[in-house]
Amino acid sequence: MKNTVKNKSPQWMRTLLSNFLESRTLEASLGDLEEKFQGRLRNGLSPWKAKLLFIAEGLGFLRMTRLKSDASVQTTINMIRHTFLFFGRLVRKDWSYYLVSMLGLTLSLTSFIFIMMFIHDELSYDQFHDDKDRLFRLTTHLKLSDVEYNLATSQFPAASALKSEIPEVDLAVRVFPQEIEFALNDKKHRESIIMADEYFFDAFSFTWLAGDREEALRNPASVVLCERMSKKYFGSEDPVGKTLLVYDQPLTVTGVIEDVPKQSHLKFGAIIPLQYQLNAWKRETGLEGRENKWFWVGTYTYVRLRDATVLNDVEAKLPFLINKYFPDRYKQGGAFHLQPLSDIHLTSALSNEMEPPGNILYVRLFSVVGVVIMIVSAINLVNLSSFKISSRMREVGIRKFLGQDTIRIIMQLSTESMLIGLLAFAIAIILCNIFLTSFNNLVQKELNLFSFPNLLIGGITLVIILLISLMAVVRPAIRYAAKTSRTLLLQRSGDPTHAGERNILIGFQVCFSFVLLVFSFIVSSQIDYFKNKELGFDKENVMLIELSEDIYGHVEAFKSELAKSKKVIEVSIGVAPGSAHHGWRFVPEGGSEEKPFLFPLAWVDYNYLNTLKIKLLKGENFNPLDLKKDSLWSFLINKRAAMELGWADDPINRRMKVFAAGTTEIMAEGRIVGIIDDYHYESLHKPVKPVVLTLNDGFGTAMVRVADGSLQETIPFLKKTWTKFSEQPFTYELLDEQLDTLYANEVKLSNLILFFTVIALYLTCYGMFALSSLLFRSRLKEVTIRKVFGANQLNIITQFYSRYAAFTLAAIVTGVPVSFYVSNLWLQTFEYRIHIGSTFFFLAGGCVFIVGLLSVSYYLMLVAFSNPIKFLRSE
Amino acid sequence: MKGTNLGEFEELVLLVVAVLFDEAYGVSIQEELSSRCDRNATLSTIHVALHRLEEKGYLESRLDGATNERGGRRKLLFRVTKSGKRALASAKEMRNELWQSIPKSAFNLSV
């Protein structure tokens, strides 16, 4: 019995075919299929194969499907065709209106998609780790001589202390970023890498391509490469087991991982076990390394908790660690905190971040801008289509008269509107593709339209636009479609009942573009302010040349060689302003070693002040001869440092001791030779901090001041001199450009805001323009009649203008407090900021006012200067 | 309405139907095509061709000959009509004519 069931052809296939084929074909095809099926079974083919072939061949018959000729289907097809035909005619008849509204819709959709992509990218940082909810970063907060330090880093021994003292801590991993030169045969490159504890890959989920995840970081002399690094050094070969040279020592490649995702705050090309670095330090100093002390806040510590709910318990236990381990001078006001991994990119405001973080303020700002742009274009669409439909009243009337039912009319009108939406969306996607590279440059990201989340964004945008275009017509469509054809045909066109509502909507747009414009003015003048503010030194005409190691022995010769050119005015070697100045601990004479001062220290040569034109207030400049007596250092301190030390009046010749970094030992003692004026060696986001300069024969960066206007001509000379001393390639930067990069974030914001301001302004103008065209058309007759009765053109123009001017002004006035609030919010994040003067508001208000009136002027003039006879006759 | 010229596959099917005379239906045509012409066509492809030929008036069909093997379904048997015969003949004639018009040297040269 079982056999017969097995040997039957699939019943569902037969049913399927019987639904689609007409009876004669059905009879023949089913017979033929069955015959072949039985034949195959007889030939010994296994039943399931025969069934499969039956199904495959059966599906082939579906192409013989005959559509049942059904009147309703035919009607639908006709109707769709009719809709397209009619739509085409409408567009041809009024193409300028459709072009302008399509352009507005397209622009707003494009910017909406861009904004959403940007926001999504910002919000998705560090979301790819499996344990992201349990991962935290240990942050350190110190208060030293009344200055608060909020640091993203923590001390080296903190990881093991956390692990042993707090049972809820599952894993504690240290990460120490570095730049290291890798070498393989003749390939030599500097790479930014991280050094990490063995358990790094247990905490963070990076995708493995080759190698053993568990064992990869166990041996100190190993390295795990990212895919692109592996390609760079080994090409397509399997790198696992091969060796790379790091400072002439071999490291075995133990694994390859996929490149780090763009949305990771940790970015690196390779990972080396931290133990490797610790061993190296031990070898070099021969001492117990400074990494075992609690002074140096030099590493990133990441913690995985047993689960996310114990966070509060763990936070409560952290002060215990402070008491037990922190050196005395850190204890007062010192604190540890656990920062969730996903907060790092957007909401962190800590020093020592690995990469410049994003800003939650910008994310919020752009979400608002994106939504408002969408709302504005929705308003325009609703406004215009309700007006457009009211001008098609007769058409609707005739349709009803000829027997089209209400539902069909509503469907017809909404299909038309959705077609516009769909078309705008398609163009927007094309525009997105074209401008994606420029947008990526603008925001310095690598967004891709056709990756998973962004496709979803596209999909959502499509749904939104379809909903908006539906919304725009449904209300007026229902209103008109429900009326009888008689009312529709006899009623005069024009529907002024909603004029007030429309004006408010347009006013909202004007207000929005005004706010954006003010904000963009303020952002760009704040950037100008940054770039032009007096810094306390002269940043113009200075070239920076990063010295390489082969020059260090011949620094004086190099300098005197450079000074041979007439164009070179001064040369100094030291730390350039704008680059990192590290803090050192100083003990002033009479002060306690328990309470040292933390001051940034810069090693510079005797020419530093002259080259950068920093003002010496008291005492004297460095004396080159002081270098010889290495027992006593010379210090120059700035005004701020003198104040903090309490020596503002008479600091000259006082002594200070310096601690060696990370230890409790005094490294040297020095004498203050002079006070210099405060200068901004950091970005203007922060107030001027104290600084100590000390004399050195010079290492770091060569700063070359050249004669005004001769930057370009001196480059070949510098290069020639450089090649006499070094085998490394010659590179240079300009000091003022280097300082400008400190404000890259603000420039980025300014560009984006400007871009959206232009779009918003366009949308507003187009809204006013299109609406004025429709309104004036409906008032043509009134104007002509007035003209016939002797009204002059000036009269008519002032009447129209005054109405527009009134509500534009009202909108602008409403925008003033809003824009003041937003700009102030942004400016508060800066230490040195511009004053929000009334000029900004007058300027932006003037712009919006004039642009708004200009956009209504075209139709106004058309009506005002028209020949009355022409229009009267048309009725 | 539809064109009346013969496609290459249609011509083959039409010829096979003529060869099989009174026994021409889906499966037999398929077998004949694969054994004689080395053409493997699915049943549905053949039925589509048959249907089109019938629309053009080159074939006529009747339902007959139910067997147990076919699950009690009848066969759709085809026979070539007069106009079908004419179409075949004219196709053949056209080919012959073309063959005869080839200059002798054409094939010699090309080899």
pLDDT bracket for residue B107 (50, 70, 90): confident
pLDDT for A2:
41
The backbone torsions φ and ψ at residue A143, rounded to the nearest 5 degrees and listed phi first, read -135, 105
Task: Tell me: pLDDT of A146 over 70.
Answer: no
Q: How high is the pLDDT of residue A820?
A: 92
Which residue is associated with the tokens 């450009």? Answer: A737
Which chain A residue is nearest to residue B69, measuring alpha carbons? A35
Q: Which residue has the tokens 């639908």?
A: A76
User: How many Å from the N-terminal Cα to the C-terminal Cα in chain A?
Assistant: 88
* B74 to A31: CB separation less than 8 angstroms, yes or no: yes
Both A25 and A80 in one domain: the answer is: no
Q: What average pLDDT is seen over chain B?
A: 85
Q: What tens digit of pLDDT does each residue of B7-26 get? A: 888 899 999 999 988 888 88
Strands A187-196 and A270-273 come out as parallel
Please determine, for residue A814, whether its predicted confidence score (pLDDT) is greater than 80: yes
Q: What percent of chain A has pLDDT over 90?
A: 11
Would residue B76 count as lying in a domain? Answer: yes
The region that residue A272 occupies, defined by phi over 0 for left and psi between -120 and 50 for alpha, beta otherwise, is: beta
CA A668 to chain centre: 46
Number of domains in chain A: 5
pLDDT score for A427: 93
Residues A59, A82 share a domain: no
Residue A356 inside a domain? The answer is: no
Q: What angle do CA A57, A62, A68 make, to 5 degrees?
A: 155
User: Does residue A271 sit in the same domain as residue A155?
Assistant: yes
- For residue A303, the cross-strand partners are A136, A172
Claim to verify: residue A566 and residue A632 sit in the same structural domain: yes
Which helix (H) or strand (E) segment is A806 a member of?
A: helix A793-827
Q: Dihedral through CA A84, CA A87, CA A92, CA A96, nearest 10?
A: -140
pLDDT at A646: 83
Domain CATH number, residue B14: 1.10.10.10
* Cβ atoms of residues B59 and B81 within 8 Å: yes
Where does the pLDDT of residue B69 fall: very low under 50, low under 70, confident under 90, or very high at 90 and above?
A: confident
Span A346-371, average pLDDT: 82
Q: Among partner residues A24, A27, A63, which is closest to B48 by beta-carbon distance?
A: A63
pLDDT value of residue A816: 93
CA distances to A153, A155, A635, A658, A696 from A601, in Å: 20, 21, 10, 10, 12
> Is the residue at A109 inside a domain?
yes
Flag whether B105 is in a domain.
yes
Q: A17 contacts in B (CB within 8 Å)?
A: none
Nearest CB to B73; choose among A34, A36, A39: A34
Structure confidence at residue A287 as a pLDDT band (50, 70, 90): low
Instruction: Give domain status of residue B2, yes or no.
Output: no
Let me know whether A721 and A793 are in one domain: no
Cross-chain residue pair A64–B25, CB shorter than 8 Å: no
pLDDT band at A70 (very low <50, low <70, confident <90, very high): low
Same domain for A504 and A488?
no
* Residue at A734 is within a domain: no
Beta strand A243-246 with A692-695: parallel, antiparallel or unpaired?
A: unpaired
A446 neighbors A262 (Cβ within 8 angstroms): yes
A to B CB pairs, distance under 8 Å = 71
User: A488 with A379, same domain?
Assistant: yes
Assembly ipTM: 0.86
Q: Classify B18 in phi/psi space as left (phi over 0), alpha (psi -120 to 50) or beta.
A: alpha
Angle at B100 between CA B97 and CA B104, to 5 degrees: 155
**Record: contact B43-A36, CB cut-off 8 A:** yes
Structurally, chain B folds into a number of domains equal to: 1
A481 close to B (CB below 8 A): no
Residues 6+ apart with CB under 8 A from B36: B16, B19
Judge whether residue A392 has pLDDT over 90: no
Query: Rounded to 5 degrees, what angle do the CA atoms A273, A279, A282 make?
Result: 150
Do the chains contact at B71 and A24, CB–CB below 8 Å?
A: no
> Which whole number is the average pLDDT over A121-131?
88
- Kindly state whether residues A86 and A171 are assigned to the same domain: no
A75's tokens = 């009607």
pLDDT of residue A780: 75
Give the pLDDT score at A1: 38
Distance CA A192, CA A179 (A): 4
Residue range(s) defining the domain that contains residue B15: 8-110
For residue A64, the chain B residues in CB contact (below 8 A) are: 44, 47-48, 51
Cβ A32–B63 below 8 Å, yes or no? no
Q: Among A261, A186, A259, which residue's Cα sits nearest to residue A228?
A: A259
Shared domain for A591 and A564, answered yes or no, is yes
Q: Would you list which residues of chain B are within 8 Å, Cβ to Cβ, of chain A? A: 25-27, 30, 42-45, 47-48, 51, 61, 63, 66-67, 69-71, 73-76
Give the model confidence (pLDDT) of A587-608 as tens digits. Answer: 888 777 777 788 888 888 888 8
Closest in B42, B45, B70 to A31, CB measured: B70
A792 domain-assigned: yes
Determine whether the interchain pair A34/B69 forms a contact, defined as Cβ–Cβ distance below 8 Å: yes
Confidence of residue A288 (pLDDT cuts 50, 70, 90): low
Same domain, A578 and A676: yes
In a domain, A736, yes or no: no
What are A723-750's pLDDT values in tens digits? 888 877 888 888 888 888 888 878 888 8
Q: Does A61 lie at the interface with B, CB-CB under 8 angstroms?
A: yes
In the predicted structure, residue A290 carries a pLDDT above the cut 70: no
Of A29, A34, A38, the CB nearest to B47: A29
pLDDT reported for residue A73 = 66
Give the DSSP letter string of A523-559: HHHHHHHHHHS--SS--TTEEEEE--GGGGGGHHHHH
Please answer whether residues A321 and A161 qualify as being in contact, where contact means their C-beta atoms are separated by less than 8 angstroms: yes
Instruction: Flag whether A677 is in a domain.
Output: yes
Confidence (pLDDT) at A3: 46
A395 and A455 housed in the same domain: yes
Would you call A740 an interface residue with chain B, using a CB distance cutoff of 8 Å? no
| pLDDT for A571 beyond 60 | yes
Instruction: Write A524-528 long-range contacts (CB < 8 A, 24+).
Output: A524/A750, A524/A754, A525/A834, A525/A840, A526/A746, A526/A827, A526/A830, A526/A833, A526/A834, A527/A743, A527/A746, A527/A747, A527/A750
Give chain A's mean pLDDT: 83
Domain boundary among A15, A44, A64: A64
Is the per-residue pLDDT at A770 higher than 90?
Answer: no
Task: Say if the Cβ atoms of B47 and A33 lie within 8 Å.
Answer: no
Which of B61, B73, B74, B78 should one mutate to test binding to chain A, selecting the residue with the greatest count of A CBs within 10 A?
A: B73
User: Where is the domain boundary, A46, A64, A82?
Assistant: A64
In a domain, B28, yes or no: yes
pLDDT bin (cut points 50, 70, 90) of residue A756 is confident
A280-289, B25-34, B89-98: segment of lowest average pLDDT: A280-289
Residue of A nearest to B78 (CA): A28
Pair A711, A590 in one domain: yes
* Backbone phi, psi, residue A688, to 5°: -65, 130
Q: Evaluate whether residue B1 is within a structural domain.
A: no
Q: How far apart are CA A383 and CA A380, in angstroms?
A: 5
Q: How far is B25 from chain A (nearest CA, A)?
A: 8
Task: State yes or no: pLDDT of A684 exceeds 90.
Answer: no
Query: Would residue B23 count as lying in a domain?
Result: yes
Residues of A with Cβ-Cβ distance to B70 under 8 angstroms:
31-32, 34-35
Residue type, A686: K
Nearest beta carbon to residue B43 from set A24, A27, A29: A29
Return the residue in B40, B44, B76, B78 with the most chain A beta carbons within 10 A, the one to mutate for interface testing: B44
pLDDT tens digits for A408-462?
Answer: 888 888 888 888 889 999 999 999 989 888 888 877 788 888 777 788 888 999 9
Answer yes or no: is A365 within a domain. no
Q: Cβ contact (<8 Å) for B76 and A28?
A: yes
Identify whether A314 is part of a domain.
yes
Write the residue in A9, A35, A64 that is nearest to B44 by C-beta.
Answer: A64
Find the domain containing A447 and state its range.
Answer: 73-125+370-493
Which chain B positions have a beta carbon within 8 Å of A57's beta carbon?
42-44
- Order of strands, sheet of A542-546, starting from the edge strand that comes earlier in the sequence: A568-574, A701-706, A542-546, A733-734
Contact A34 B26 (CB under 8 A): no
- Are the beta carbons of A32 and B25 separated by less than 8 Å? yes
- The answer to whether position B36 is within a domain reads yes
Q: What is the pLDDT of residue A403?
A: 79
Q: Which amino acid is located at B15 in the chain?
A: L
Higher pLDDT, A73 or A649: A649
Residue B38 lies in a domain: yes
pLDDT at A302: 94
State mean pLDDT over A825-847.
89
Residue indicated by tokens 């991993």: A173
A285: pLDDT confidence band, cut at 50, 70 and 90?
low
Within 10 angstroms of residue A207's Cβ, the number of other Cβ atoms is: 12
